[in-house]
């Protein structure tokens, strides 16, 4: 880079961008010879020129067209405010014209003898003057635009001021209309003779008319199609009392219930000029209130059922306990043995009934276990044969080899009975065919459409089909909703299918429904097959061979009869049993001689310490002591919570003796293995 400070006249700051040393020297020599008032800087490339321009400003740039690292056009884009004179040695005026189009102020065509420098001074002066004129013109345009903008703003301000009041009124009106039409309730303003002078959009939508069509009509003409006001209309009350008034009204035409409110609008003389009328659709609210009352009724029934079931559990436990004693003593082929077997079988049904009662009171916990559903379905069908009228033809197709499932037996029984009962109700004339089938089926991915959480595979399929009234699509879409029912009041709670749907989902299955009005309905329940290693393993889930021992067991229950039964059952198997009726006494026994007690069997619901509290206190004294917690129902401690707190077994009453023996032996054997290790 070469710099020179030559003169005292008005200095022109000039940047020369030239990569030819000869041309650079010719430029310097010409400036000095002519004593031109230039303070110049020379750059040998586009890059060097750009770098110089980052820190310095110039009055004019003289640049060769073609440089080693680019063309001078690149400078035009970056430095549009500085005039650029392009020099070219090609002799091609097309390049010069293109440069002018791209923003160059002027151009010089270089010749070998340097004659072009003779016009340099004039060209520079003209370029600077031209840029100066452009700036002045631009500034003039800006001033002119500013003047126009200022005048325009003044005119706009005058217009705004002139129409300010009008705009304010329109705004208020718009706000009022938007507010008026934003209400979802039907809002009208009426004269004292009930003519509608204004109605909101919700009212227009309800009547399916435009607001212009409604104005001037009496409200009762539009809403009820009558010639007189509705009986007990709130507007009549307002006219008589001059006070606001509200009441519920059912609209037969719309099949909706409204909360209708009316309030007087007074003029300056305190006379009623208009009446404001608001009708709020409370149809859904009334439905919810009805559902709430039904739910509260079911809750009350459930609470009562829970208390009854608790007492019945204890009675049932005593009956089954003593019945089992008789069963053990009676000869296998005797009449007594056969009779007592029937008693125990009936007791088993009573146990299932208690579970259903506790399900109603929400105090039961379903116990899933491997079961063969064909046995349960057959038992349910036996009950139905006895209860259904002979005019109903029952068709059964029960496959004993359909497979095993993991479910609660009572729930499967409930599904069968409920679906068949619904089928019976669908055949309201007492005639028709009820078909029940239980089969094995392979379910593909296509069959599971709409069931994203299930996987294809083997399923047990229970189908209940009737030739009753059938259902339309709208009804099918709602049949699994709680409290939805198509039956008359008093003939159904609307819970049956909802409960079935919940049971099937909990079991990992799904339901399909096919129905046609006038033809009948088919309910198809799919339950996943339990993959088993053999029938012997499955049967072992139910038949436990009692095994005794010599360990010392502490039994506590506030029901003396149940304590004596449990004591007798365990003593028959060789165990030493200490039986008490008070949880505090049981705690003292453990505290006084913990080494003598090998197992604790305790009821949950007792005066004083509950079974859970007793178990926790005993585990503080002897942590390794196994505990079996027995309960008919409890909303204080669930099975999961009990096991989490250290209880080894959680058994539901009434306890089948084999189930108790298995739990006792399992815990005692586990304790012995732990002691040996």
- Domain-by-domain residue ranges, the chain? 2-135, 180-281, 300-360, 369-537, 544-676
Sheet with 256-266, strands from edge to edge, namely: 196-199, 186-190, 272-281, 256-266, 245-251
Distance of alpha carbon 320 from its chain centroid, rounded? 47
Mention every residue, 6+ apart, whose C-beta is less than 8 A from residue 289. Answer: none
Q: Alpha-carbon distance 68 to 47, whole Å?
A: 10
Extract the tokens encoding 309. 């079931």
Find the helix packing angle between 373-387 and 409-426, rounded to 10°.
Answer: 40
Options 3.30.565.10, 3.20.20.70, 3.30.590.10, 3.10.100.10; CATH of 369-537 = 3.30.565.10
Residue 382's CB is within 10 A of a number of other CB atoms, namely 9
Place of tokens 């139910």: 542
Place of tokens 């129902």: 633
Q: Alpha-carbon distance 475 to 282, whole Å?
A: 23
Place of tokens 């053990």: 328
Contact (CB, 8 A) for 667 and 628: yes
Extract the tokens encoding 194. 């009930």
Options 1.10.3720.10, 3.90.1150.10, 3.40.120.10, 3.40.50.2300; CATH of 544-676 = 3.40.50.2300
Q: Alpha-carbon distance 348 to 655, whole Å?
A: 11
CA-closest candidate to residue 602, choices 634, 635, 644: 634
State the pLDDT at residue 666. 87
Extract the tokens encoding 381. 């069908």
Options 3.30.450.20, 3.90.78.10, 3.30.160.40, 3.30.420.40; CATH of 180-281 = 3.30.450.20
The dihedrals phi and psi of 451, each to the nearest 5 degrees, come to -125, 75
Extract the tokens encoding 263. 């309030």
For 522, counting Cβ atoms within 10 Å of its Cβ (0-12 exposed, 13-18 middle, 19+ buried), the class is middle
Decide if 2-135 and 369-537 have a common fold: no
In 557-604 the beta strands, taken as DSSP E runs, fall at 576-580, 599-603
Contact (CB, 8 A) for 460 and 440: yes
State the pLDDT at residue 186. 82
State the pLDDT at residue 285. 84
What long-range pairs does 97-104 form, CB within 8 A, spacing at least 24? Answer: 99/65, 99/72, 99/73, 102/73, 102/76, 103/76, 103/77, 104/72, 104/76
Place of tokens 């189930």: 659
Extract the tokens encoding 550. 């010599």
For 550, counting Cβ atoms within 10 Å of its Cβ (0-12 exposed, 13-18 middle, 19+ buried), the class is exposed
**Distances from the Cα of 464 to the Cαs of 91, 419, 512, 525, 526, in angstroms?**
102, 7, 11, 9, 12
For 395, counting Cβ atoms within 10 Å of its Cβ (0-12 exposed, 13-18 middle, 19+ buried), the class is exposed
Q: Alpha-carbon distance 494 to 533, whole Å?
A: 41
pLDDT tens digits, 550-596 = 899 999 998 888 889 888 888 888 899 999 999 999 999 999 999 99
Contact (CB, 8 A) for 482 and 494: yes
The dihedrals phi and psi of 429, each to the nearest 5 degrees, come to -85, 5
Contact (CB, 8 A) for 488 and 387: no
State the pLDDT at residue 527. 93
State the pLDDT at residue 488. 52
What is the mean pLDDT of each successive set of 10 residues along the chain, which is 677 residues long?
48 90 90 91 88 87 83 69 82 72 80 83 89 86 89 85 79 76 79 81 78 74 74 76 81 80 84 82 80 64 64 77 81 85 79 62 63 89 78 90 88 87 83 92 85 87 91 78 55 58 84 89 92 48 56 92 88 91 93 93 89 92 92 69 84 76 86 61
pLDDT tens digits, 384-437 = 876 778 788 889 999 999 999 998 887 888 889 888 888 888 887 778 899 999
Extract the tokens encoding 628. 């079996």
Q: Alpha-carbon distance 483 to 495, whole Å?
A: 5
Distance of alpha carbon 548 from its chain centroid, rounded? 53
Write out the CATH class of domain 2-135: alpha beta
The answer to whether the pTM exceeds 0.85 is: no
Contact (CB, 8 A) for 9 and 38: no
How far apart, in Å, do the first and last CA atoms of the chain sit?
95
Alpha helices per DSSP H over 593-656: 611-621, 639-644
- Facing residues of 186 across strands? 279
**Distances from the Cα of 591 to the Cαs of 579, 583, 594, in angstroms?**
16, 12, 6
Extract the tokens encoding 654. 């009434």
Q: Maximum distance among all alpha carbons in the chain?
A: 148
Extract the tokens encoding 487. 């039956």
CA-closest candidate to residue 472, choices 430, 438, 515, 535: 515
CA-closest candidate to residue 610, choices 594, 593, 639, 630: 630
Mention every residue, 6+ apart, whose C-beta is less than 8 A from residue 441. Answer: 458, 459, 460, 461, 526
State the pLDDT at residue 635. 57
């Amino acid at each position: 880079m070469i710099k020179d400070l030559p003169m005292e006249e008005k200095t022109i700051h000039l940047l020369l961008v030239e990569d030819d040393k000869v041309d650079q020297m010719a430029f310097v020599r010409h400036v000095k010879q002519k004593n031109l008032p230039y303070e110049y800087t020379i750059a040998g490339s586009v890059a060097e020129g750009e770098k110089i321009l980052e820190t310095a400003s110039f009055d004019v740039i003289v640049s060769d067209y073609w440089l080693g690292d680019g063309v001078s056009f690149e400078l035009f884009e970056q430095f549009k405010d500085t005039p650029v004179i392009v020099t070219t040695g090609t002799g091609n005026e097309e390049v010069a014209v293109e440069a002018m189009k791209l923003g160059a102020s002027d151009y010089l065509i270089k010749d070998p003898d340097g004659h072009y420098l003779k016009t340099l001074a004039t060209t520079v002066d003209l370029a600077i003057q031209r840029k100066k004129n452009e700036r002045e013109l631009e500034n003039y345009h800006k001033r002119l635009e500013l003047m126009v903008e200022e005048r325009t703003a003044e005119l706009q301000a005058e217009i705004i001021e002139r129409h300010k009041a009008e705009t304010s009124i329109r705004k208020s009106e718009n706000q009022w209309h938007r507010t008026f039409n934003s209400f979802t309730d039907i809002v009208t303003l009426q004269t004292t003779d009930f003519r509608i002078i204004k109605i909101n959009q919700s009212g227009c939508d309800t009547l399916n008319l435009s607001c212009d069509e409604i104005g001037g009509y009496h409200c009762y003409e539009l809403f009820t199609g009558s010639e007189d006001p509705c009986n007990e209309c709130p507007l009549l009350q307002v006219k008589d009392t001059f006070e606001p008034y509200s009441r519920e009204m059912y609209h037969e035409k719309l099949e909706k219930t409204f909360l209708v409110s009316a309030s007087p609008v007074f003029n300056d003389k305190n006379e009623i000029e208009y009446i404001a009328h608001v009708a709020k659709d409370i149809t859904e609210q009334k439905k919810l209130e009805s559902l709430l009352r039904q739910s509260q009724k079911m809750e009350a029934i459930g609470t009562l059922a829970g208390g009854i079931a608790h007492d019945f559990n204890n009675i049932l436990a005593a009956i089954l306990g003593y019945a089992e004693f008789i069963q053990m003593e009676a000869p296998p082929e005797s009449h007594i043995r056969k009779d007592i077997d029937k008693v125990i079988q009936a007791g088993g049904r009573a146990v299932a009934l208690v579970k259903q009662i506790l399900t109603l009171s929400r105090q039961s916990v379903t116990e899933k276990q491997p079961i063969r559903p064909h046995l349960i379905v057959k038992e349910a069908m036996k009950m139905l044969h006895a209860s259904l009228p002979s005019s109903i033809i029952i068709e059964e197709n029960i496959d004993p080899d359909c497979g095993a499932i993991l479910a609660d037996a009572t729930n499967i029984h409930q599904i069968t009975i409920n679906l068949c009962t619904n089928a019976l109700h669908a055949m309201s004339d007492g005639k028709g065919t009820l078909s029940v089938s239980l089969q094995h089926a392979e379910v593909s991915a296509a069959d599971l459409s709409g069931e994203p959480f299930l996987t294809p595979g083997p399923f047990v399929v229970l189908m209940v089909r009737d030739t009753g009234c059938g259902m339309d699509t709208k009804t099918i879409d709602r049949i699994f909703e709680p409290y939805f029912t198509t039956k008359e009041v008093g003939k159904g709670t609307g819970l049956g299918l909802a409960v079935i749907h919940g049971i099937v989902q909990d079991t990992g299955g799904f339901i399909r429904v096919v129905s046609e009005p006038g033809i009948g309905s088919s309910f198809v329940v799919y339950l996943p097959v339990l993959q088993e290693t053999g029938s012997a393993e499955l049967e072992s889930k139910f038949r436990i061979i009692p095994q005794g021992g010599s360990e010392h067991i502490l039994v506590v229950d506030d029901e003396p009869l149940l304590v004596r039964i449990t004591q007798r059952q365990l003593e028959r198997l060789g165990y030493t049993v200490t039986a008490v009726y008070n949880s505090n006494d049981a705690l003292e026994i453990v505290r006084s001689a913990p080494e003598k007690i090998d197992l604790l069997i305790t009821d949950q619901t007792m005066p004083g310490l509950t079974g859970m509290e007793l178990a926790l206190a005993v585990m503080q004294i002897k942590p390794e002591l196994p505990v079996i917690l027995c309960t008919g129902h409890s909303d204080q401690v669930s099975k999961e919570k009990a096991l989490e707190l250290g209880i080894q077994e959680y058994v539901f009453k009434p306890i089948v003796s084999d189930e108790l023996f298995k739990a006792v032996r399992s815990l005692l054997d586990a304790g012995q293995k732990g002691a040996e290790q």
